[in-house]
Structure 1
Amino acid sequence: MIPHSLILESSISSNLLKILDEIHYTYERLTKLGDVLNSLKKEKFHFLIVPIESLDKVSSQEILESITNSFPNTLILLITNSDNWAQTAYLLKRHSAYDFLQTPLEVDHVKFTMDRSFQYLNTKVKTQFIHEAENHLYRRVIEIFDWKKSLTHKENQNISADIIHQMNINLFQGSGIGTLMSVVSILLSKSKWDQDNNHYTIQKPILDLLSENYDAAKSMFDSMSISQNVIDDNELIQTMESPLKLLPIIHSEIQTLEEALKIKSQKINVSQIPNSVNHHEIRFDQVKISYAIREVLLNAIKYSKDGDEIYIIFFQKENFLEVKFINPAYQNEDGTVGIPEKFESIIFEPFFRISSIVDDSYAKFEQFRFGLGLTLVKKILDQHQANVQIYNIEDNLKDDNKVDVCLTIRFPLIKKEN
């Protein structure tokens, strides 16, 4: 994944923009430091990059500290020079900034610093989640070995039950292997031997059920094969195509999912791609992008409700094409809504699920399963040097103060060679 930056413009930021264009990192710009908080509320950024010359007032330093406190998962990088070491060191010491880029800016140094900082950010987010998971496990252990509770509620089961539960969700819950085994068992017990004609007779409903679940199990194994191919392929996509080719893929996948949309009477609305991208290209593998788009759309469909509308909106911003998939957010099993901030990065980890409920209605449309869907979406987009994030946003499409889930993909735009 590539980092996404918010850059405060100044006389020394123009060279940085050229470097980011060269290494195909995405960014957005603003002109006033006072507008940063509003920008961070509306959109997710990994970095805020601020030229040191813009911080000549005490109030500017207070704004940086406010940003750090309000948005701890957005790292502040300073653009500085040898004349401003004292101020740079002061801000770093106070943790008002994480790191710095020294002028004159060089491509290798900028890339190294941003990659290193991005690695720290990802590790920090995962560490926070792991710490929370460890606390949950600790509470479980206390509950299990609390003899009073054990006597009154008989809750002395082993922690391994949680692991078995996850295996059941991933492999055996719903149609497919589990039901197929049950149907085979019924088939063996209910089939009747016709000794005169030397064959067994089977009731049609049983055979129909067997056929249905054979298809579901076969689909599951096909999914494993597709997933394995994606996992094994680590090559960067070299093929370059017009961004306009994304639109027919999206419409094709919507048509494929027409039956899935009818289940809850849902609708997908798609905007046009801005004409401003006509003279650009993106890395493009049609098959893999189709896989990714299907998975993203299926997630939006599954986690939306009856009559909901899903929006796909394109924006051309700075040096990238942004594609937003937006669907209504609802309450989760733990009482949170949509995608809680603590899950925004972890949701792309293998086997992670916010909900443990499996809906069989959509099984035949799935190409990725076993809790690997968004993990493989991220893998595919990494191969396209694209960025993917998922988070809650305020619903600005309707005046009902609701929350939406927004999955955002950013494809770096590369100018066509003449």
Structure 2
Amino acid sequence: MIPHCLILESKNTKLIAELLKEIDYTFERVSLLEEIHKTLEDGKFHFLILHVNDIEHLDARKSLSEWTKNFPYTLIIIITDTSKWETTASLLKQHSVYDYIQTPLDSSHLQFTLNRSLQYLLTKLKSQFINEAENHLYKRMVEIFDWKKSLLHKENENIAADIIHQMNINLFQGSGIGTLMSVVSILISKSKLDQEGKNYSVAKPVMDLLSENYEAAKSMFDSMSISQSVIDDETIIDYKESPTKLLDLIKQELETLNEALNIKSQKVNLSQIPASAAGKKIRFHETKLSYVIREIFLNAIKYSKEKDVIYLIFFHKENFLELKVINPAYQNNDGTSGIPEKFESFVFEPFFRISSVVDDSYAKFEQFRFGLGLPLVKKIMDQHQSNVQIYNIENNFRNENTKDVCLTIRFPLLEEEK
């Protein structure tokens, strides 16, 4: 995962921006301390980077504590030197900041510190999720082995039922293997042997159903083959193209998915590439990026409702081209909406699902299945040394006072080779 950083810009942090460009990390800058809170609310950042000289006054110290409390998934990193050890030690001791980078600055030291801090952040998120999962399992075990319930015959499930449920979701719900097996069963039971005992006759509706679900099952196995090819490939993409090629690829996929959009009469608003990105390049593997675009569009389509508008917007920020895919956030089964904050990282974990409902209407368009879609998107974007995140944002596009789901991809912009 490529970290995304927010920098408090000052004469003390100018070098940081250049070093982040050097190691292909994405970043944004604010010029005033007062802008930080709003910027953290509006976006998602792994790190907030400040210089110790810019936060020495008391109000800034109070702000550090507030940011740590209100944005626990953004780690605060300070730049310091030997003359500021007392201040630095105090901030670390109070847990107002997570880590520090000592001057003189260099790219390797910066990269090491941020990567180490990112691993801590991901482990923290995973530990929280695992604890919740363990608590859920414990409660299930208590329910299962509660002797009163056992005597009353109100609980006769076991832990294996949860595993079977997940297998059912991933392999057998909807058209494909499950329905194909059912149709084969019908075929066997309804086929009639002729008088000579040599040939079976099959009713046309049964044969049509068999053909349809054979195609669905074949598509499923094709998906497994594509997924395996992505999983096995560890190559970092070196080939570079103009960002306009990405826009062309998006338009091609939109044409392919036009039928999928028509299922719920949805529309897509697509912006242009900012003119300021002209003359730059991005890492570009056409086939793999087509998989990414297909997956993120389908996700937005599937989790949106009738006549919803999906926005695809490009921004040029600092050293990267940003693509945002925005669709309305709706309520989940547990009462949350869109992508709950605690799940923002886990949607990129294999087999993780916020909803267990499988919509069969879009099966023929899918190239990734079995809960592998977003994990493989992340894998491909890592190969492009690009950043991908998904989170809820305040609704800025529609009249209703609701939230939207925003999937953001950031491609580091590279200079044209001369």
**TM-score, shorter chain, exceeding 0.5:** yes
Aligned-partner Cα distance in 1 for 2:13–2:296: 35
Counting only pairs closer than 5 Å after superposition, residues 112-151 of structure 1 correspond to structure 2 as 112-151=112-151
TM-aligned CA deviation for residue 300 of structure 1: 0.5
Is the contact made by 1:145 and 1:156 (CA closer than 8 Å) also made in structure 2? Answer: no
1:59 aligns with 2:59: yes
Aligned-partner Cα distance in 2 for 1:93–1:153: 55
- Deviation per residue, 1:130-166 (Å, 9 max, x gap): 1111111111111111122333352131111000000
TM-aligned CA deviation for residue 243 of structure 1: 1.1
Which one-letter code corresponds to 2:193 in the other structure? Answer: W
TM-score by length of structure 1 reads 0.99
User: What is residue 82 of structure 2 aligned with on the other side?
Assistant: 82
1:403 aligns with 2:403: yes
* Structure 2 CA distance for partners of 1:197 and 1:142, relative to 1, 3 Å: closer
Which one-letter code corresponds to 1:148 in the other structure? Answer: K
- Deviation per residue, 1:191-233 (Å, 9 max, x gap): 1111348321110000000000000000000000000000000
Counting only pairs closer than 5 Å after superposition, residues 22-33 of structure 1 correspond to structure 2 as 22-33=22-33
Counting only pairs closer than 5 Å after superposition, residues 319-330 of structure 1 correspond to structure 2 as 319-330=319-330
TM-aligned CA deviation for residue 272 of structure 1: 0.5
TM-score by length of structure 2 reads 0.99
Aligned-partner Cα distance in 2 for 1:41–1:152: 50
Output the aligned Cα RMSD.
Answer: 0.9
SS at match of 2:326: strand
TM-aligned CA deviation for residue 35 of structure 1: 1.3
Which one-letter code corresponds to 1:348 in the other structure? Answer: F
Which one-letter code corresponds to 2:244 in the other structure? Answer: L
TM-aligned CA deviation for residue 244 of structure 1: 1.2
Aligned-partner Cα distance in 1 for 2:173–2:17: 50
Aligned-partner Cα distance in 1 for 2:160–2:387: 36
Which one-letter code corresponds to 1:160 in the other structure? Answer: A
TM-aligned CA deviation for residue 280 of structure 1: 1.0
TM-aligned CA deviation for residue 174 of structure 1: 1.0
Is the contact made by 1:348 and 1:374 (CA closer than 8 Å) also made in structure 2? Answer: yes
Is the contact made by 1:271 and 1:313 (CA closer than 8 Å) also made in structure 2? Answer: yes
Aligned-partner Cα distance in 2 for 1:153–1:22: 65
TM-aligned CA deviation for residue 15 of structure 1: 1.0
1:387 aligns with 2:387: yes
Aligned-partner Cα distance in 1 for 2:353–2:153: 28
Most deviating of 189-198 and 332-341: 189-198
User: What is residue 156 of structure 1 aligned with on the other side?
Assistant: 156
Aligned-partner Cα distance in 2 for 1:169–1:400: 33
TM-aligned CA deviation for residue 278 of structure 1: 1.0
Superposed structure 1 runs of 4+ greater than 2 Å apart: 149-153, 195-198
User: What is residue 230 of structure 2 aligned with on the other side?
Assistant: 230
User: What is residue 14 of structure 1 aligned with on the other side?
Assistant: 14
1:46 aligns with 2:46: yes
Aligned-partner Cα distance in 1 for 2:400–2:145: 47
- Deviation per residue, 1:58-105 (Å, 9 max, x gap): 111000000000001000000111110100010011010011111110
Counting only pairs closer than 5 Å after superposition, residues 211-360 of structure 1 correspond to structure 2 as 211-360=211-360
Counting only pairs closer than 5 Å after superposition, residues 185-204 of structure 1 correspond to structure 2 as 185-196=185-196, 198-204=198-204
Is the contact made by 1:34 and 1:63 (CA closer than 8 Å) also made in structure 2? Answer: no
- Deviation per residue, 1:222-280 (Å, 9 max, x gap): 00000000000011001011111111111111111111111111111100110111121
SS at match of 2:391: strand
> Which stretches in structure 1 are left out of the alignment for 5+ residues?
none
Aligned-partner Cα distance in 2 for 1:152–1:251: 60
User: What is residue 207 of structure 1 aligned with on the other side?
Assistant: 207
Which one-letter code corresponds to 1:294 in the other structure? Answer: R
Is the contact made by 1:239 and 1:284 (CA closer than 8 Å) also made in structure 2? Answer: yes
Aligned-partner Cα distance in 2 for 1:198–1:356: 46
Counting only pairs closer than 5 Å after superposition, residues 72-111 of structure 1 correspond to structure 2 as 72-111=72-111
Aligned-partner Cα distance in 2 for 1:228–1:399: 43
Aligned-partner Cα distance in 2 for 1:252–1:147: 60
Aligned-partner Cα distance in 2 for 1:102–1:245: 41
Aligned-partner Cα distance in 2 for 1:300–1:359: 13
Is the contact made by 1:81 and 1:102 (CA closer than 8 Å) also made in structure 2? Answer: yes
Which one-letter code corresponds to 1:216 in the other structure? Answer: A
Is the contact made by 1:78 and 1:100 (CA closer than 8 Å) also made in structure 2? Answer: yes
- Deviation per residue, 1:263-311 (Å, 9 max, x gap): 1111111001101111211110000000001000001111000010100
Aligned-partner Cα distance in 2 for 1:291–1:153: 49
Aligned-partner Cα distance in 1 for 2:24–2:330: 35
Aligned-partner Cα distance in 1 for 2:215–2:65: 57
1:184 aligns with 2:193: no
Aligned-partner Cα distance in 2 for 1:97–1:120: 14
Corresponding pairs, count: 418
